[in-house]
Structure 1
Amino acid sequence: MPKKRVSKTIKPYVLKNGQTRYKFAIRVDDTHTTTRRGFYTVEEAEIAYINLRKKILDDDYNEHGGYVKFNQIYKDWLKSYKNTVKESTFYKTKSLFKCNVLPHFGDKYIKDIDVNTCQKALNKWVSNLVHYKEVFNYANLIFKEALRRDYISINPMDKLDVPKKTKHKEKAKKNYNHRNFYTIEEQEKFLNHAKNYNFEKYAFFRLLAFTGLRREEMLPLKWNDLKNDMLRVNKALVRIDRQGYKIQSTKNDEIRNLIIDPRTIDILNEWKKQQQNESPSDEQENQLIFMNPKTKSNFSLEVPRRWQQKINDDIQLDHNVTLHGFRHTHGTLLLDNNSDLTFKDLQKRLGHKNLQTTINTYLHATNKSDDKMMEALKKVDDISNSSNKSKKE
């Protein structure tokens, strides 16, 4: 290719500091053009142009990424990712990308996504999302995948400074419901009202309150999971994209055998008799403990929350407690009323993956924490007084 023809393609441009640099644009195919800039001399730009044009003519351009869109790399990554997580996690991850990542990068070619584009996306996440770091980390996985496949030589995400705290996150933390649990009096009032309201709902909330189960672990329970005073927990009801609800293993893929108190056992046995009278079955042992009578299948995850909200309103509860709040109540009341119970014991009962999760969740102030602290201070004072008396004598 004659040098004169090449030189016409090279264009000068001026930086803000007054320095001149050179750039060129070259057509990759019928619909795509790419631009290279930042060259210090015409000759340097010409050499880059010739080398790139040769790669395009030799159909070797895609070896170094070419025009591969972010969305395509994401889809390729998703195929591998699907084999490493549960279906529910896969669904949540897809939703995260669809709502927060793909709108910023999806239709862009990976080589055209620079630091400025990434910074704008990060700024939007920081402004609007509490869990902006999670979104950033997931988006970064796609850039790392592009780097691994040699589509890009530098990851623009590596040049971003992700803030540790934001006003938005601090506001959400401030507004967090730290009283998302019942006092023992409030829980008793709730259960008494539920008993008069509907016995199945009473049995449901009694079991929830006295086991600390997650609602997704409660709904797939069958009668054969209950043996004497032990309840086997090894399933969870989750929502999977458009497939609806599905049963999968529990959150940490473990089987928990929970001891159940005699009063709760009696209530469940009474409900078992009522259920058999209402819906006779020769295979009740293999039947759901809490079952939608119309479909003979699981209630949806939203139904128990509606039950709870009605009862909360009926008893005029003066603070909001969610379904998960029963779990917090269970842990809080156990720790408040049993001095010998350890965080390790509670971790085992609640099925937390690690001990730190249990400590972080339940190391908060409850209505009894000041009373316990006062008792401890009195003991210290008594010991101190006894020591002083001994010295005087």
Structure 2
Amino acid sequence: MPKRKNTDIEEYTNAKGDRLFRFRLYLGIDPATGKKVTVRRSKLESYATADVLYNKLAAAGIPHTYNANMTLDALYEQWFAVRRTKLKPASQYALQRKYEAYIKPVFGDHRVSAITAGELQDFAIDMSKRLVNFTVPINYVRSMLEFAVRKDVIAANPMLRVDVPGSSEREKRDTSTNFLESDELRTFLSTAQDVSQDVYTYFAVLAMTGARMSEALALRWSDIDTDTHTILIERTVTSDKHGRPDIGPTKNGVRRRVPLNEQLIPILRKHKLATLSGEYVFRAVDDDFPVDRANPRKWLDAVYEALTANHEQIKRVTVHGFRHTYASLMYELDPNITIKDVQHLLGDKTMKIASEVYTHVTKEGHLRTLTAVNKLDVL
């Protein structure tokens, strides 16, 4: 007799003496009720019959009851229960926030079967007026309604009859110049030093490593190797599914070592002496955990306020602009640096930032050489 692999299936004998099979299968938590779902089957005439039924029920998962009166809120709960299994906790939280902010106020209490293509067209146009990345909530609604079709809540997806606008009416910020020139960076860091040790060290790390904002916050002292002159970047400050701070892998899951600038070593040593002992370089006061992700933007504002007070005028950049600054300096300092080199240092899966900055820097270089050529007076 072949070995029976499914240990959840058991053999038993009924009152008449018949040899039968039964099983109990746990399917999980029903997202609609929050209760555990377990199914039981018995009086099965053979192990093979029981095994086939067991596998069929396991594959089908938790049974749901759908009806014509289902609201989009109710549909969202069941759609999200599936969708979240494919997302990181931070992405789950971001999706929930977008639903609460943009979709729920418009369609949350609507019956799914009553939502019309006309209403969805108005929604698409409104999103294109309000958001730069307006297709995100539109695509969520499309996906939810497609889910409803598959579950026989509606016969067809009305979103398929919507003409989505080709572009947003909100002007997209030009990020190609979102970096500081070397003299501007010196002025910025000099002023940051007057603001606080934390602020100065943080922006020095950003400018000299190309780390993302939350990657720098997640740095541990053990990541800094002064012997090999490298910094390991392998984690970031993120959010769990409830929006609470958490530590996770980098944005693209790329673990990388970047060169440790000689000038950064004494800055980090001084910072370590001036702060509370702990695992993280930029730790919170009341806990050995990175400072809040809102801090870098506050620190940036504080430096620009100090620059204004000192009557210093430099270009306004975002915190993310220090990644662009790092890339810009790499191209400026070594003409042999390639876009691929910078992409690797930044830990990007695409060449978007490296290419954008390269294009701008080479244009600037062309203008400088053109000016120099025009100054030649040899004829």
TM-score (norm: length of structure 1): 0.71
> Which amino acid is the alignment partner of residue 307 of structure 1?
W
2:323 is the alignment partner of 1:346? no
User: In the alignment, is the contact (CA less than 8 A) between 2:149 and 2:155 conserved in 1?
Assistant: yes
Give unpaired runs (5+ residues) of structure 2: 1-63, 374-379
Q: Which residue of 2 aligns with 1:258?
A: 258
Shift of 1:136: 0.9
Q: Which residue of 2 aligns with 1:289?
A: 281
Q: Which residue of 2 aligns with 1:301?
A: 293
Shift of 1:243: 4.9
2:302 is the alignment partner of 1:310? yes
> Which amino acid is the alignment partner of residue 297 of structure 1?
F
> Which amino acid is the alignment partner of residue 73 of structure 1?
L
Q: Which residue of 2 aligns with 1:162?
A: 164
2:367 is the alignment partner of 1:369? no
Q: How many angstroms apart in 2 are the aligned matches of 1:339 and 1:240?
A: 42
2:101 is the alignment partner of 1:99? yes
Q: Percent of counterpart pairs with the same letter? A: 24
Q: How many angstroms apart in 2 are the aligned matches of 1:222 and 1:63?
A: 49
User: In the alignment, is the contact (CA less than 8 A) between 1:65 and 1:111 conserved in 2?
Assistant: no
Residue 336 of structure 1, aligned match among 332, 335, 358: 332
Partner of 2:344: helix, strand, or coil?
A: helix
Q: How many angstroms apart in 2 are the aligned matches of 1:243 and 1:362?
A: 33
TM-score (norm: length of structure 2): 0.73
Q: Which residue of 1 aligns with 2:37?
A: none
Q: Which residue of 2 aligns with 1:271?
A: 271
Relative distance call for 1:176 and 1:378 in structure 2 (3 A) is closer
Residues 126-146 of structure 1: CA deviation (Å, up to 9, x unaligned): 222222111111111101101
Shift of 1:223: 0.6
Residues 152-188 of structure 1: CA deviation (Å, up to 9, x unaligned): 221111111112124x13xx13x64654221111111
- State which structure, 1 or 2, has the greater radius of gyration over its C-alpha atoms: 1
> Which amino acid is the alignment partner of residue 128 of structure 1?
R
Relative distance call for 1:126 and 1:231 in structure 2 (3 A) is same
Q: How many angstroms apart in 1 are the aligned matches of 2:340 and 2:95?
A: 31
User: In the alignment, is the contact (CA less than 8 A) between 1:68 and 1:110 conserved in 2?
Assistant: yes
Partner of 1:258: helix, strand, or coil?
A: strand
> Which amino acid is the alignment partner of residue 324 of structure 1?
H
Q: How many angstroms apart in 1 are the aligned matches of 2:272 and 2:239?
A: 27
Further displaced range: 338-347 or 236-245: 236-245
> Which amino acid is the alignment partner of residue 110 of structure 1?
V
> Which amino acid is the alignment partner of residue 189 of structure 2?
L
Residues 1-393 of structure 1 aligned to structure 2 (within 5 Å): 65-166=67-168, 168-169=169-170, 172-173=171-172, 176=174, 179-228=177-226, 229-240=229-240, 242-275=242-275, 279=276, 281=277, 284=278, 287-316=279-308, 317-356=313-352, 358-359=354-355, 361-366=356-361, 369-372=363-366, 375=369
Relative distance call for 1:327 and 1:63 in structure 2 (3 A) is closer
Over 6 Å off, 4+ runs: 376-379
What CA RMSD, in Å, does the superposition of the two structures yield over aligned residues? 2.6
Partner of 2:167: helix, strand, or coil?
A: coil
Give unpaired runs (5+ residues) of structure 1: 1-61, 380-393
Q: How many angstroms apart in 1 are the aligned matches of 2:190 and 2:65?
A: 70
The number of residue pairs the alignment matches comes to 305
> Which amino acid is the alignment partner of residue 372 of structure 1?
H
Higher helix share: 1
Q: How many angstroms apart in 2 are the aligned matches of 1:190 and 1:121?
A: 43
